[in-house]
A and B are shown apart, each in its own frame.
Chain A
Amino acid sequence: MIIDVHAHPYFLKEMCGSEEQVKFRRDNFGLYKIALQDIDLFKRQIAAAGIDKVVLLPLDLSSTAGGTLMSNHDMKYLEDLAPDTFICFGSIDPNSKTALSDLRTLIKDFGLKGINFNPSSQHFFPNDKAILYPVYEIAQKYNVPICFHMGMSWEPNSLLQYANPLLLENVAKDFPDLKFSISHFGWPWVVESCILAMKYTNVYIDTSMLYFDSPREFFKYVFSSQIQPSWIDRSLSNKVLFGSNYPRIEQLRMREALEYAGFREETLHKILELNPIRFLNLQGEYYDQNIF
C-alpha cells in the first residue's frame, strides 16, 4: 500500500467548474501551464508510478486571496468519487472568524482525514498561540493529522518569514499527541526539519521537494550534501513520508528519485508505506498492527 501524502487536486477536470475558477487556481497556486485532466487519467498516472493512494490537499486562501483553491465541501465530493484512491484533507483559514466552526465541520460533517496549512501563503505564524492553539486542541482531540507546508513555496503570494520549520517547535512540544508533517522537507531548512522530527515523536517530514535540477539530482544533493542518507536510515526512518507535490512534478519522477537516493530497502518501505499508514491513522484498515 504505497501512499503519496502530498498532491493537489486543483486541475482535475471533474473539479473545475468554470474558467474563472481555473484562472483563480492558476494565479494563486502559481501553476500557469497545465492541461486539465480527468480522474481516469490521474489514476493512470498514479498506477504508472506504482502508487495506491494519494492524499489530496486543498487550501483556504480567503484572507489573502479572497477564496479557496478548493473548498472542504468539494474535497468531500472528490473523495466520494474515488474513495479507494483518494484520501482528502480539508483546509481552514486561521485568520477567519469562522476558523473553528469550519474546522469542526471539516472533521465532523465532512469526515476529511486531515488538515492542510500553508503558513507562507495563508500569512500566519504557526506558533501563534492566540489564533492557532484552539485549532490544534481540536485537531489533537480528534486525532486529525496536520500537513504544514514549510520552507520554500512556489505560490506567488507566499512569504518565507512564515515558513521556517523551527516555528513549529512549540507546537510539537505543547501538543505531543498532535501528529503533523513538515512538507517539502522544510527546504532549505532541511537540518532544522530533521532535528524536529528526531526530537519530537509527533513530527514527520515529507519528501515533496524539488527546487533545482531534476528530481534525482535534487534528492541526491539534499540527501548527500545537506544531510546524509544515514541520517534517514539510522535516525529518521520512521519519520519520513513520501510526498510528490503533484502536479508541480510527476509522481513517477519523484518516486524514482526517492528510489535512487541511496536509502536502505527497509527505509524505502517505511517511507512509501508504513510511515504514511501510521501518520494517516490507517493501521487498522491495511496492516497488521504489530508492525507498528
Chain B
Amino acid sequence: MTKIYSKAIKTSQSIQMIRMGNIVSDIVQESSIQTGVVNIITLHTTTGITVNEGLDCLELDIVDLLKKLVPDESPYVHAHFLPSYGRTSANATSHLRGLLLGNNAVFPIQNGKVLFGGAQEIYLVELDGPQERKISIVVSGD
C-alpha cells in the first residue's frame, strides 16, 4: 500500500532550517502502515531536504557552510531577465545550495513508527524564503 500526503509550510527567513521529524512521525502514524518506508520529498528547486542532528549549533554551521560553498558574490549566469516569467532571476545561490542538499530523505518504518537513529532529525531547508513550501510525504508498505 502507498499513501501520499502533502504538507504546506510557510517559512519566515531567507535561509532557514525547519525540523520536520515530528510532522513525518505524525503522518506515518496516520497512515496505519506498520512496515515499510517513508519518503520526504520537496517539490521545489530552491529548498533542500537533509538529515542531521537536531542541534541549534549545527544548524548555524550548516547554514554557514552553504554560504561559504556558494557565496553571495559571484558572477552567476542565472542573473538576468526571464521573458517567460516577466521578472529577473536573482536566486542562483538558492538553486546551487539546494543542489548540495538534494530533494529528499528516506526512512524505514517499523512497528508503525519511523525508525530514526538516536541523533537524527529531518530538515526542510529553505534557501529562498520566505515562501510557502509544499512537501510530499510518501508512505509505502504494509
Interface residues, chain A, with chain B CB atoms under 8 Å away: 26, 29-35, 37, 40-41, 44-45, 47-48, 154, 210-217, 247-250, 252-253
Q: Check if B73 is an interface residue, CB within 8 A of chain A.
A: yes
Residues of B within 8 A of A29 (CB): 86
- A28 CA / B72 CA spacing, docked (Å): 33
Q: Which of B10-26 contact A (CB under 8 A)?
A: 10-14
Q: Check if B87 is an interface residue, CB within 8 A of chain A.
A: yes
Residues of B within 8 A of A249 (CB): 87-88, 90
Most buried by A among B11, B14, B90: B90
Q: Which of B89-123 contact A (CB under 8 A)?
A: 90, 92
Residues of B within 8 A of A215 (CB): 88, 90
Tell me how far the C-beta of B134 lies from the nearest C-beta in chain A, rounded to whole angstroms. 10
Tell me how far the C-beta of B72 lies from the nearest C-beta in chain A, rounded to whole angstroms. 8
Most buried by B among A29, A48, A212, A216: A48
Most buried by A among B85, B88, B132: B88
Which residue of B14, B73, B87 is within 8 Å of A252 (Cβ)?
B14
Most buried by B among A29, A37, A212, A213: A213
Q: Check if B79 is an interface residue, CB within 8 A of chain A.
A: yes
- A247 CA / B90 CA spacing, docked (Å): 13
Residues of B within 8 A of A211 (CB): 81
Most buried by A among B73, B79, B86: B86
Tell me how far the C-beta of B21 lies from the nearest C-beta in chain A, rounded to whole angstroms. 23
- A32 CA / B81 CA spacing, docked (Å): 13
